[in-house]
Structure 1
Amino acid sequence: MEEINTFFRENNELILGYMLQLVAAIVIFYIGRIVARGLSRLLERGLLARSVDKAVVAFLVSIVYAIVLIATVLMALSQIGVQTTSFIAILGAAGLAIGLALQGSLANFASGILIILFRPFKAGDFIDAGSVSGTVEKIEIFQTQMKTPDNKRVIVPNAQITGGPITNYSSEPLRRVDLVIGISYDSDLLLAKKLLEEILQNDERVLADPAFSIKVGALADSSVNLNVRPWVKSADYWDVYWDTLEKVKLTFDEKGIGIPFPQMDVHLIKDQADSKE
């Protein structure tokens, strides 16, 4: 017992210094945990306010909390004299190795986060992205599920979607139907325009505002091309497109408006020997 007392008397300052360092490390760890929780809650509220998926929010919050907590532990260990340089080097090397091994997956993950945060499209939208056209069924962290018009399910990596242009056909409530109707040069141009106007006016799906337009677009090699551009609701686009083409063909046939089509004239030349015979 006397030896222990002697040891404490002789090393009083050293022990006191270690105790202060230990207390400081505990305080740093405690404050770091509070900061980590505060940042996590702040991030969670911000993401939920932007209507980000709850699963994604929980994942991101856990990552932020883990990063701050690791930094806090390293600071606490450094305070009590532990050399953290080797730990940081090991963590950096491990992170680099994991990053190289999962390069494609990390790119898809980052792209998924961007899609969820900036919301260029949502489930139910018809889009053209990643060389695929279809209706978005589900947006996931690494991939997006789409259904094509012919009822095929296509799973597209998120990096492929964000790596190119994204065309969202459902984002706007109205769309313009662009049709090019060709008539022959000997057809009555004014009558053709009048018939087209009647077809569009009699279609309840064609909007009055914005108004449709019918203009001569080009004097082509074998036809006079009319640009017919009605405005419709996005949901009616394809029905109006197909129905209008059918009505134009039937009406023009009935009124004698010619619709030109490619033709080829074949001239037969008899051999001279055959002609002498």
Structure 2
Amino acid sequence: MKKNRLFSLLLFLLVANSMFAQLGKAVREILTGDSAVTHTTVRNDSDSIRMANMKRELEEARLNEANMRMEMEQLRLKAFAADSVKLAQQKARIDSLRQFTPGVPVVVEGDTLFYLYTKRGGYTPLQRAEMIDAAITQLGKRFTLHPDSVYIESSDIVSDLMYGNKVIASFTDQDGLWEGRSREQLAADKRIVVVKKLKELKEEHSFWQLGKRILYFVLVLVGQYLLFRLTTWLFRKLKVRIQKLKDTKLKPISIQDYELLDTQRQVNLLIFLSNLLRYVLVFLQLLITVPLLFVIFPQTKGLADTIFSYIWNPVKDILVGIVDYIPNLFTIFIIWYAIKYLVRFVHYLSREIEAGRLKFGGFYPDWAMPTFHIIRFLLYAFMIAMIYPYLPGSRSGVFQGISVFVGLIVSLGSSTVIGNIIAGLVITYMRPFKLGDRIQLNDTTGNVIEKTPLVTRIRTPKNEVVTIPNSFIMSSHTVNYSSSAREYGLIIHSEVTIGYDAPWRQVHQLLIEAALNTPGVIDDPRPFVLETSLSDWYPVYQINAYIREADKLAQIYSDLHQNIQDRFNEAGVEIMSPHYMAMRDGNESTIPKDDLRPKTDKQ
């Protein structure tokens, strides 16, 4: 709108000027006209009227011109005021953004020159900074560089820092607003900074500096070589000294009666440690030398920092992590310490219960240690659950994924193990047998020598150790000879067949006497005889006797059978086995001749 009004005012002034020119020309023609020409009186009057009209119009035009000039001045003042308001608004907006908008640094070979905040020609501040960095770096490597030749070339909207025909940096009014200065002042200040940096780059890339860097490079290499040779020589001497210690100062290291380290093993250990120390020293030398070689030349200085960061950053992270982890470490230590002494207290109670010094109603002493193992497992599981959140990396996805994977593997592969553990717990608290008991498990008979959460081991009378899973024991029937022998007395029995010609009362008496004379058979309750069968040719007698020592079951059976034969042979009674058949004429007896005794009149 303001532009249209200005354009109309200018057009009006042009028209007025042309009118004033025509009026002036007419006046001059009238005034300079030929006075000798005769005019009529009417003609003179009309000219006077015209002259008066023209003067009046001229005065009006001058008045209009003054009014229009006044209006133009007012418009100019309004435009200036509007520009001032707009500029103030931009400054206020930039001031508010400056608190939250970090500038992009222009960094040249690690040195920050200045900051950029705004776009320029479609380039972001970061892109502008990269282009300025590339331009300054490229110029700084020229051997024919003259830094003072950098000049400023300004236009209506931009000020450029130039070197020859090359643009180093460009600055706009917006850049000046961000810096709080005019564009020309900003360009002049940045020129000083750029010229200073170019002088530094020229000095760094001069032939003299290049020669010194090459000399430093060679000196570092020679120094590293000499250090390496010195380290090798020193450790060679140290190895010889260690070898001599074998016959002088070294003595075997023993723990009780076990020789842990003899002198030769000590020498080997010391040599290994010395070699390890040598490798560490060489590594430290290389750790210092390699970055030092790269830092000599500006072109590889960044590579030196990168190589050093590859080694230092992990070490720094580890050290920082250790320092930050110290509070958690104290927490873990307190938890572990508390659980440790709680386990010791439970173990003490279990020992007292097992020894019979501490008793609880309905709690058997042989339950003490299995119960302790269960409580200890639960306490340690509780401790791990409490410590887990304090472990380093416990909240990371990798750590959690590994935990889930391990748990899945354990759950899939330990079903049998868990079944045996549960069966072991059930066996413990059901108490079908104890350690040392003589049991029969299916076809296996022997003494229990070991009970674990997973298996039970039995030693047979032939000294065969049989390992049986607890889950198999739970699914099988178990005969406990020792338990019956302790509580009621175990009944052993054996069958003999005697012909019908032998009085059964005599047979009963002989069998009972044989049982009573057998070691391990108790008198009370008294042995007894059962007649279990009356076959066609003989009756079957079963001798039953009570014993207390189930561990000697096989020996007691053997002694009983021997005594039965002795007693029957002494009494002249034949033992007819169910599988014993003989063709007899009635004259020969099956009784051994040494045991035959002459019959008395009483018999």
Q: TM-score, normalised by structure 1?
A: 0.63
* SS of aligned partner of 2:482: coil
**What's the CA shift string for 1:105-142, capped at 9, x where partnerless?**
11112222233344332222211226422112221221
Corresponding residue of 1:238 = 554
Q: Does residue 1:262 correspond to 2:579, yes or no? A: yes
* SS of aligned partner of 2:477: coil
Give the CA deviation at 1:210.
0.8
Q: Is the 8 A contact 1:193 1:214 kept in 2?
A: yes
Corresponding residue of 1:143 = 455
Aligned AA for 1:248?
A: I
Q: 1:93 to 1:222 in 2, by over 3 A?
A: farther
Q: Is the 8 A contact 2:350 2:372 kept in 1?
A: no
Q: Is the 8 A contact 1:184 1:224 kept in 2?
A: yes
Equivalent pairs: percent with the same residue?
23
* SS of aligned partner of 1:170: helix
Q: 1:203 to 1:157 in 2, by over 3 A?
A: closer
Q: 1:183 to 1:92 in 2, by over 3 A?
A: farther
Which structure would you say has the larger RCO, counting Cα contacts within 8 Å and 6 or more residues apart? Answer: 1
Question: How many angstroms apart in 1 are the aligned matches of 2:422 and 2:349?
Answer: 18
Q: Does residue 1:250 correspond to 2:566, yes or no? A: yes
Larger Rg: 2
Q: 1:61 to 1:194 in 2, by over 3 A?
A: closer
Aligned AA for 1:155?
A: T
Q: Is the 8 A contact 1:53 1:116 kept in 2?
A: no
Q: Tell me how many residue pairs correspond in the alignment.
A: 228
Question: How many angstroms apart in 2 are the aligned matches of 1:121 and 1:209?
Answer: 25
Give the CA deviation at 1:91.
7.7
Q: Is the 8 A contact 1:112 1:142 kept in 2?
A: yes
* SS of aligned partner of 2:508: helix
Q: TM-score, normalised by structure 2?
A: 0.32
Q: 1:208 to 1:96 in 2, by over 3 A?
A: same
Q: Is the 8 A contact 2:490 2:546 kept in 1?
A: yes
**What's the CA shift string for 1:40-65, capped at 9, x where partnerless?**
779878866444465x5565334423
Q: 1:97 to 1:43 in 2, by over 3 A?
A: farther
Superposition CA RMSD, Å = 4.2
Q: Is the 8 A contact 1:44 1:61 kept in 2?
A: no
Corresponding residue of 1:159 = 471
Point out the structure with the larger helix share.
2
Question: How many angstroms apart in 2 are the aligned matches of 1:66 and 1:110?
Answer: 19
Give the CA deviation at 1:217.
1.9
Corresponding residue of 1:200 = 515
Q: Is the 8 A contact 2:522 2:546 kept in 1?
A: yes
Give the CA deviation at 1:183.
0.8
**What's the CA shift string for 1:133-175, capped at 9, x where partnerless?**
2112221221222211111122222222222122221123221
Corresponding residue of 2:436 = 124
Corresponding residue of 2:496 = 181
Q: Which of 227, 232, 236 lines up with 2:542 in the alignment?
A: 227
Q: 1:95 to 1:263 in 2, by over 3 A?
A: same
Q: 1:196 to 1:141 in 2, by over 3 A?
A: same
Unaligned runs of 5+ in 1: 1-32, 77-81, 267-277
* SS of aligned partner of 1:146: strand
Give the CA deviation at 1:215.
2.8
Question: How many angstroms apart in 1 are the aligned matches of 2:495 and 2:437?
Answer: 27
Aligned AA for 2:457?
A: Q
Question: How many angstroms apart in 2 are the aligned matches of 1:117 and 1:148?
Answer: 24
* SS of aligned partner of 2:507: helix
Q: Is the 8 A contact 2:515 2:564 kept in 1?
A: no
Question: How many angstroms apart in 2 are the aligned matches of 1:198 and 1:260?
Answer: 20
* SS of aligned partner of 1:127: strand
Aligned AA for 2:532?
A: G
